[in-house]
């Protein structure tokens, strides 16, 4: 059981003082009955709790696990240099969950500004580490449009391994197949800087468009449009973490 003001604080609705004020001013309503609560110290069971803040419906989540369909022309940075930040696509409470020290949800790895597709975000540090650590080998599927027609030699080299300029060890694709004259599907288990673009360049071609369609067992929803996001289900989080135990 937690005090209502602490629940709001944990979910990113401001400092404890701000959260206390929201409750006292009647901006917080509880349960499906939309019953207003004006006592910041009222204790409530967090799990399964649904509430409204200034008319917006929210459900309590101890930890946040999100799936975002990243659009082109956005940066995976809190302080973007040129393009809008992906974090502007999220409601403000998700960006401030847990107070200033926690800094809200964070991207689980990064996609380039012109790359689209599946991006995970979370405020669970262990989950982020599991998903991004090279030793866990989480497979990521990329759909690649290339400038020049593909040939069997290029695909074979991607499978056998190419040397990138920052690592003497060959970097291999876990799987690679040409799905069209200029459409390549790559499965990688590492996340080096510009890795797909550099691997394709190393075999004599160039990436014209890049889209991530899957991470582990999780694929991008067909009805989730670019710029839209949703919560992961408990089963989806379990499926992702079960793949990378150890």
User: Per the structure block, which two tokens stand in for 38?
Assistant: 């004006």
Phi, psi of 219 (to 5 degrees): -115, 160
- CB-count burial class (<10 Å; 0-12, 13-18, 19+) for 89: middle
User: Is 112 designated active site?
Assistant: yes
Residue 190 zone, left/alpha/beta (φ > 0; ψ -120 to 50; rest): beta
Q: Any alpha helices (H) in the chain, and if so which ranges?
A: 4-10, 16-24, 92-95, 125-132, 152-160, 195-202, 234-242
The answer to whether residues 103 and 43 touch, using CB atoms and an 8 Å cutoff, is: no
State the catalytic residue, choosing from 6, 112, 114, 165: 112
Distance separating alpha carbons of residues 49 and 60, to the nearest angstrom:
5
242 contacts: CB under 8 Å, gap ≥ 6: none
Angle between helices 125-132 and 234-242 (to 10 degrees): 50
Distance separating alpha carbons of residues 246 and 242, to the nearest angstrom:
9
Q: Rounded to an integer, what is the distance from CA 220 to the centroid of its chain?
A: 11
What angle is formed at CA 141 by the lines to CA 226 and CA 76, rounded to 5 degrees? Answer: 45
Active-site residue list = 112
């Amino acid at each position: 059981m937690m005090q209502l003001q602490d629940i709001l604080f944990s979910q990113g609705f401001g400092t404890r003082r701000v959260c206390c004020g929201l409750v006292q001013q009647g901006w917080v309503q509880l349960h499906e009955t939309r019953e207003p609560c004006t006592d910041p110290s009222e204790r409530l069971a967090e799990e399964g709790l649904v509430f409204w803040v200034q008319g917006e419906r929210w459900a309590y989540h101890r930890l946040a696990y999100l799936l975002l369909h990243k659009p082109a022309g956005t940066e995976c940075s809190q302080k973007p240099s040129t393009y809008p930040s992906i974090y502007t696509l999220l409601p403000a409470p998700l960006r401030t969950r847990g107070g200033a020290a926690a800094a809200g949800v964070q991207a689980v790895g990064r996609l380039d500004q012109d790359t689209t597709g599946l991006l995970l975000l979370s405020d669970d540090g262990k989950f982020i580490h599991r998903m991004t650590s090279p030793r866990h080998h989480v497979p990521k599927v990329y759909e690649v449009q290339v400038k020049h027609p593909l040939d069997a030699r290029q695909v074979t080299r991607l499978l056998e391994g190419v040397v990138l300029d920052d690592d003497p060890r060959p970097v291999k694709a876990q799987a690679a197949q040409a799905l069209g004259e200029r459409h390549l599907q790559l499965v990688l288990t590492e996340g080096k800087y510009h890795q797909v673009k550099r691997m394709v360049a190393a075999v004599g071609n160039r990436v014209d468009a890049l889209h991530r369609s899957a991470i582990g067992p999780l694929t991008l929803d067909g009805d989730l449009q670019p710029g839209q996001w949703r919560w992961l289900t408990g089963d989806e989080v379990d499926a992702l973490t079960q793949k990378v135990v150890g």
